[in-house]
């Protein structure tokens, strides 16, 4: 059942990890700003994605514009298919997202079967269900009696003036990769299979933004498009020595078949049962699994859900979503799609350009497997799952992995003594000079400073005391165990 707030809600608010944007103008829904701690966590998660996925051998990363002309989205299918079901309130004229109204209603009744059936429901059935259950407008509480219709989610604008060309803010970061593919392939001497990655902003005019970072109008995506020869679909040897070295196909994941509970299986069994279309798709499952592990999730805290044919996006032949159980219910945070040749064919047709490439002696229009990760949603899931309500310590704290913690160390002089502060400042500058991120504080009691360090997820706190002045040793306190050890501060790395 959906809860009203995250497990770490009080920490998020108190430390301004993220907060509603445009506060002095009434906080329009779907927009969030990130404070320094939140931004640091977010950048660290992005850094792990970069090291885990984008910097894989044979992959390159690019950055492209967030505005694109109308023909781009005609080719991609977004103009005709990128919609959500909406029902408008007759009293306040607010738009309500029909499927989410029903999902919330069924969740309150703990009706899992109805939630599963909702994924296949058309707008006529949604309308009947809303009226049957007398659901009300989320904004004013008036009973909804209107029609359910489809609403296009793209933001439209124009470049120039007068009869200017229509432009749209991109609803995903993928399309520029497809348009740039042929030139990038040639100029970077790429060979199939190869990956092109991009991290950046995307925009969707959500009908009813909700659940903080889950459903936003401006958000961050980290996407990878893996191009491969379509004739090599089930050739596992095409992944080369990397697959053997990392035992990709022996890796165990939690997999949920449609309508069933997740169970542990190997990636190889997904290929042999043809639950996934090819070895490249399986490779992206492995990379997504590796990414989730690196940002601190236990393998039992997330699962890969099979998407039924009726749910598939217009461009996809197969999809898996990575889902996490949060305080807001089950949230999809990443997706893997088999896009086939849809995008390259569509852009070639609309633009008139030949987007095929030479693969050895053969002319090929590559197929594409995609890994798309919602950075903001991933961050929200981490903040929710890693909140520890520690009754023994008397405070709540975040058990973040060291790689995504906002700081490597907190640095505390024991007391406000000039000699202690001088040494603590020197240690702080020394560690920063070695590329470490440090959180320095000399105000409040040492206990309160430990609490503040714990609550934002800093794994270790360095305390400088009077013994430090004599022998250059400091204590390092472990966040998870609260145990302390004494070391020479020059040896800290």
In tens, the pLDDT along 35-66 reads 999 999 999 999 999 999 999 988 999 999 99
Contact 493, 430 (CB under 8 A): no
Residue 399 counted as domain residue: no
pLDDT in tens, 455-483: 999 999 999 999 999 999 999 999 999 99
State whether 166 and 268 are in the same domain.
yes
- State how beta strands 387-390 and 252-256 pair: unpaired
pLDDT at residue 2 is higher than 50: no
Contact 455, 397 (CB under 8 A): yes
Mean pLDDT of 414-426: 97
In CATH, what number is assigned to the domain containing residue 480? 3.40.50.800
pLDDT in tens, 400-411: 999 999 999 999
State whether 159 and 143 are in the same domain.
no
Angstrom CA distances, 374 to 30, 145, 218, 223, 402, stand at 15, 34, 11, 9, 21
Residue 392 counted as domain residue: no
**Domain end (from 356, 387, 418):** 387
State whether 105 and 222 are in the same domain.
no
- Distance (Å, rounded) from C-alpha 260 to C-alpha 266? 17
This prediction's pTM: 0.92
Residue 129 counted as domain residue: yes
State whether 144 and 193 are in the same domain.
no
Residue 164 counted as domain residue: yes
Residue 1 counted as domain residue: no
State whether 453 and 338 are in the same domain.
no
pLDDT at residue 1 is higher than 50: no
- Distance (Å, rounded) from C-alpha 386 to C-alpha 374? 18
In CATH, what number is assigned to the domain containing residue 175? 3.30.930.10
Residue 4 counted as domain residue: no
pLDDT attached to residue 235: 57
Total of domains in the chain:
3
Tell me the average pLDDT of the chain.
Answer: 93
pLDDT attached to residue 236: 61
Residue 400 counted as domain residue: no
- For 358, the domain range is 9-77+154-387
pLDDT attached to residue 311: 81
State whether 116 and 165 are in the same domain.
no
SS (H, E, C) 215-239: ECCEEEEEEEEEEECHHHCCCHHHH
State whether 223 and 144 are in the same domain.
no
State whether 160 and 146 are in the same domain.
no
**Domain end (from 109, 126, 151):** 151
- Distance (Å, rounded) from C-alpha 154 to C-alpha 472? 59
**Domain end (from 151, 170, 200):** 151
Question: Which of 437 and 235 is assigned the larger pLDDT?
Answer: 437
State whether 479 and 340 are in the same domain.
no
State whether 361 and 436 are in the same domain.
no
pLDDT in tens, 90-122: 999 999 999 999 999 998 898 988 988 898 899
């Amino acid at each position: 059942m959906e809860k009203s707030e995250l497990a770490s809600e009080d920490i998020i608010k108190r430390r301004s990890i993220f907060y509603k944007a445009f506060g002095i103008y009434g906080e329009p829904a779907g927009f969030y700003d990130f404070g320094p701690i939140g931004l640091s966590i977010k950048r660290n998660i992005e850094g792990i994605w970069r090291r885990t996925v984008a910097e894989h051998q044979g992959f390159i990363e690019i950055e492209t514009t967030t505005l694109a002309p109308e023909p781009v989205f005609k080719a991609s299918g977004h103009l005709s298919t990128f919609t959500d079901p909406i029902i408008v309130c007759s009293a306040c004229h607010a738009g309500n997202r029909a499927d989410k109204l029903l999902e919330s209603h069924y969740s309150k009744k703990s009706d899992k079967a109805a939630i599963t059936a909702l994924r296949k429901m058309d707008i006529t059935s949604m309308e009947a269900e809303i009226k049957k259950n007398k659901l009300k407008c989320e904004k004013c509480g008036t009973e909804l009696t209107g029609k359910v219709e489809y609403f296009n989610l793209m933001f439209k604008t124009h470049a120039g003036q007068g009869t200017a060309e229509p432009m749209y803010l991109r609803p995903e970061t993928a399309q520029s990769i497809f348009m740039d593919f042929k030139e990038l392939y040639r100029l970077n001497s790429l060979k199939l299979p190869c990956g092109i990655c991009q991290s950046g902003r995307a925009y969707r005019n959500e009908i009813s933004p909700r659940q903080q970072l889950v459903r936003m109008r401006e958000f961050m995506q980290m996407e990878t498009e893996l191009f491969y020869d379509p004739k090599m679909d089930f050739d596992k040897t095409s992944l080369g020595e990397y697959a053997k070295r990392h035992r990709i196909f022996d890796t165990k994941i939690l997999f949920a078949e449609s309508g069933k509970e997740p169970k542990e299986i190997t990636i190889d069994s997904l290929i042999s049962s043809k639950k996934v279309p090819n070895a490249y798709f399986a490779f992206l499952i492995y990379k997504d699994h590796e990414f989730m592990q690196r940002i601190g999730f236990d393998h039992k805290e997330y699962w890969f859900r099979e998407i039924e044919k009726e749910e598939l996006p217009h461009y996809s032949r197969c999809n898996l979503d990575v889902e996490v159980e949060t305080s807001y219910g089950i949230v999809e945070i990443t997706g893997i799609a088999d896009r086939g040749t849809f995008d390259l064919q569509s852009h070639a047709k609309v633009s008139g350009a030949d987007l095929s490439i030479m693969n050895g002696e053969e002319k090929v229009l590559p197929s594409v497997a995609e890994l798309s990760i919602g950075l903001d949603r991933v961050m929200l899931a981490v903040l929710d799952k890693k909140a520890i309500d520690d009754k023994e310590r008397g405070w709540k704290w975040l058990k973040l992995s060291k790689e995504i913690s906002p700081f490597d160390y907190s640095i505390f002089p024991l007391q406000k003594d000039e000699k202690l502060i001088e040494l603590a400042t020197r240690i702080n500058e020394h560690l920063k000079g070695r590329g470490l991120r440090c959180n320095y504080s000399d105000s409040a009691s040492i206990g309160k400073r430990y609490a503040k360090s714990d609550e934002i997820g800093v794994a270790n706190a360095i305390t400088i005391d009077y013994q430090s002045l004599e022998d250059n040793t400091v204590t390092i306190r472990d966040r998870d165990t609260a145990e302390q050890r004494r070391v020479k501060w020059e040896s800290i790395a």
